Structure 1
Amino acid sequence: MKKIMSLLTILLLLNACSTSNLQYQKDVTVEIGESLTKEIIQLESQEDITFDSFDNTKVGSYAITFEVEDKSYPLNVTVQDSTPPLINQKSEVTISQGSDLDFEAFFDISDNSGSYTITTTIDTSIPGTRNETLSVKDNSNNTASFPFSLTITEDEPVIIEQLKEFKVALNGTLDLTEFFTSTPKQYLEIIGDYDLSTAGHYPLQVGRLEVILTVDDGTLNSSYKITEPAILRNDRYILANKRYQLPADYVPDNLINIPANYNPTGQKVTQETWDAFYDMAQDAADEGYSLIIQSAYRSYQTQETIYNNYLKNDPQEVVDTYSARPGHSEHQLGTTIDVCQGSLCFGDFTNTPAQQWMSENAYRYGFILRYPQGKEGVHGYMYESWHYRYVGIEMATHFQSLNLTFDEYYQQFIK
């Protein structure tokens, strides 16, 4: 019995000595992403081993422990990255002259750290086929290189064609496709210094701004065209009076036919003028007034005929008090209308309930009385209770609080 006890004691002591004197590599190095094993620390024990967790996705040094048979042992682990990125080509590398080379469209690139930088830059301005090298570096400065053949094609330049006169309203929306076309169309854009709000103050000073029009097709083959767009003042703000004259060829861009039930002679006004008048006429009808338009847009030539016919009956100094000379008529703007109540027009419209309603409410729809009574010395014409001009609700509302003609308002707030 004593011999058995002695043998057990010896075995226990040997076992204790074997674990307390465990032989292993206390300082080890692993690659980024690599897990620890008994083989790495050179441990020959057959017992199960458990390592503390550490971040093996980041390069650095970690002091950890591992356990064997409920005993802990220290271990210093260094995580390194000595593996260069991997590069595989997916397809032939062919691009257009002057375009950017997107390497990842032609190559699969990966790195065990999950991060890399492409250090190669390519000059794509010269067409042809040549050998190049793709170089990639990871965060640990491991580099990889991949030779490849690069083909740069020479494309035909994009062509610009002008569709119509380049005329843009002041502060309007510039839609190049309305004036120009190109092949391919999606590359049409405008560059250069221009400002749609810097036109001249008067129609005779219509803005002419030199603009360089170009298309960018993603290569160096861009086409250029120099044009001079006419930047017009918005029709509703142009001043046409005895002093300032409209060009003989001035025609508003957005004229529409007035419906026959509002003008049986087939005259025209600008779209926004008609929209505003229609709303006003509908509300006036609810009050019992049938507003129609007796006269609207007149061309330079039409006004010239009207004026000359008046001269057959009255001397010019008299005609000038009730008719505008050609080029000086607001009717040429397409924003001015002569309003009637049914068959009551011109002087017959004056002092009617409909005329009174207009004087009190026209501004709500964007209209102003152009030649008010008591201001004949300013605007130069006889009082015309029927002559209204569309200027927009904001300006018309401002007008309502002032005792000014459009001529005076223009000098103070527009010019």
Structure 2
Amino acid sequence: MKKKKNSFYLIIIVISLVIICFLSYKIYFLKKRNENQKEISDSKKTTKEQEKKKTEQELKLERLENIHKKITFFKMENLDRYLSYKDKHKDLKNEDIVIRVNIGLDKEFFTNSKEAPHKYEKTVLANKYNFLGSDYIPKNLTKINSKCTIGTQTLVKEAKENFEKLCNDARKDGYFIKIISSYRSYNRQKILYNNYAKRDGEKAADTYSSRAGYSEHQTGLVVDVTKENGSFLKFGNTKEFEWMKENAHKYGFILRYTKEFESITGYTSEPWHYRYVGVDIASYIHEHPMSYEEYFVRFLDNK
């Protein structure tokens, strides 16, 4: 009798173990299935969100007539800025919208400043969105031949050599062009700007003078020129100016601030202000009139 009783208990134990194993497996199986279903559900949700996002992006790009497929300087991270600028400037072509936003013109001057790109190259872009800083001093500053200057003037060596060629060739043609201002240090520009701002107010000063750290003169690549024995402010009315318009690019210089591009540069026209960028770039801009900002965005940005 005792033996039968033990056998009965053994059977009960075995059956219990089988049931426990079965239930454990069942629970594990259900848990695993639920996890897999959740992963599939999450994956589908993510895919739908990506498709929705892609669709929204495509719709935005269509508003710009898919200009991103036609130009190389389109920046997808600026897409919303392009559209916002387009809403405010419906008269502009989509390509011009991209150019202006890439320049930074959808922001107020000096509010979205960053370090000037190509800082120690002749292609450096210093303007109201790109600063050089208080410690910036260009490399290879060299004194310019005095027959081409009023007072002592210095430029970066390459710019200096090319301006001297310009100066000498102009003389051969009967035009006497001299530099009245060239490289300026940060501190010198600070004094000049502060004096103008004190006299005329900051808003007015910003239209004709650069804030310290934002001035092209600090690059050592800029000259303000004048006719010999003449006022630089009247340079635009001289035959020397006409000669510069026709020939400056041959020596790598561009007229930097023109009336046509005041809305881009933020500065009033300065017929006396020339920037050295090299013969290739200067010649291109001469043949295809545009601001240096636009040229930089089209061909040099992110390079």
TM range (shorter): 0.5 to 0.7
Post-superposition shift, 1:401?
1.4
Which residue among 115, 138, 141 is the counterpart of 1:252? 138
2:231 & 2:135 partners in 1: Cα distance? 29
The structural deviation recorded for 1:234 is 4.2
1:204 to 111, 115, 120: 115
TM-score (norm 2): 0.60
CA contact (8 A) 1:203 1:238 kept: no
Matched, 1:357 2:268: no
Amino acid at match of 2:180: Q
- Match in the other structure for 2:262: 376
- Among candidates 169, 190, 204, match of residue 318 of structure 1: 204
Aligned residue for 2:200, secondary structure, equals coil
In structure 1, the residue matched to 2:155 is 269
Structure 2 matches for 1:325-404, cutoff 5 A? 325-404=211-290
- Paired residue secondary structure (1:340): strand
More helix by share: 2
Name the structure, 1 or 2, with higher relative contact order (CA <8 Å, separation 6+). Answer: 2
Provide, for residues 103-123 of structure 1, a one-character-per-residue CA deviation record: whole Å limited to 9, x for no partner: xxxxxxxxxxxxxxxxxxxxx
Q: Distance between the aligned counterparts of 2:116 and 2:179, measured in 1?
A: 31
Q: Judging changes above 3 Å, is the alpha-carbon distance between structure 1 residues 350 and 264 closer, same or farther for their aligned structure 2 residues?
A: closer
The Cα of 1:274 is off from its aligned counterpart by 1.0
Q: Distance in 1 between matches of 2:201 and 2:119?
A: 34
User: What SS does the corresponding residue of 1:337 show, helix, strand or coil?
Assistant: strand
Is the contact between residue 235 and residue 271 of structure 2 (CA under 8 Å) also seen in structure 1? yes
Given residue 204 of structure 2, which amino acid in structure 1 is its aligned partner? V
Identical aligned residues as a percent: 40
8 A contact 1:258–1:267 mirrored in 2: yes
What's the CA shift for 1:361?
0.7
- For 2:188, the equivalent position in structure 1 comes to 302
Cα shift readout 1:285-305 (whole Å, capped 9, x = no counterpart): 111111110000001111000
Asked if 2 retains the 8 angstrom alpha-carbon contact of 1:294 and 1:339, the reply is yes
* C-alpha contact (below 8 Å) 1:240/1:329 kept by paired residues: yes
The residue number in structure 2 matching 1:239 is 125
* Secondary structure of 1:350's aligned partner: helix
Residue 290, structure 1, aligned to residue 176, structure 2:
yes
CA distance in 1, matches of 2:225, 2:150: 13
For 2:193, the aligned partner's letter is Y
- Distance in 2 between residues matched to 1:311 and 1:371, nearest whole Å: 20
SS in structure 1 opposite 2:254? Answer: strand
Distance in 2 (CA, whole Å) between partners of 1:314 and 1:320 is: 10
Distance 1:346 1:266 in 2: 17
Greater strand proportion: 1
TM-aligned CA distance change 1:313 to 1:365, over 3 Å:
same
RMSD (Å), alpha carbons: 1.7
SS at match of 1:374: helix
Paired residues for 1:11-410 under 5 Å = 204=115, 233-410=119-296
Q: Is the 8 A contact 1:203 1:233 kept in 2?
A: no
Shift of the 289–248 alpha-carbon distance from structure 1 to 2, 3 Å rule, reads same
Query: Residue 226 of structure 2 aligns to a residue in which SS?
Result: strand
Contact 2:163–2:251 (Cα < 8 Å) also in 1: yes
**Per-residue CA distance 1:255-287 (angstroms, 9 max, x = gap):** 011223322422211111111111111111111
TM-score by length of 1: 0.44
Structure (1 or 2) with the larger CA radius of gyration: 1
Deviations 1:32-64 (A, max 9, x none): xxxxxxxxxxxxxxxxxxxxxxxxxxxxxxxxx
| Structure 1 segments unaligned to the other structure (5+ residues) | 1-201, 207-231
Report the CA distance between 1:205 and its aligned residue. Answer: 6.8
Pick closer, same or farther for the CA change 1:203–1:346 going to 2, 3 Å: farther
Letter of the 1:251 counterpart = I
- Deviation of 1:203 (Å): 7.4
The one-letter amino acid paired with 1:301 is N
Instruction: Report runs of 4+ in structure 1 exceeding 4 Å deviation.
Output: none
Aligned residues: 189
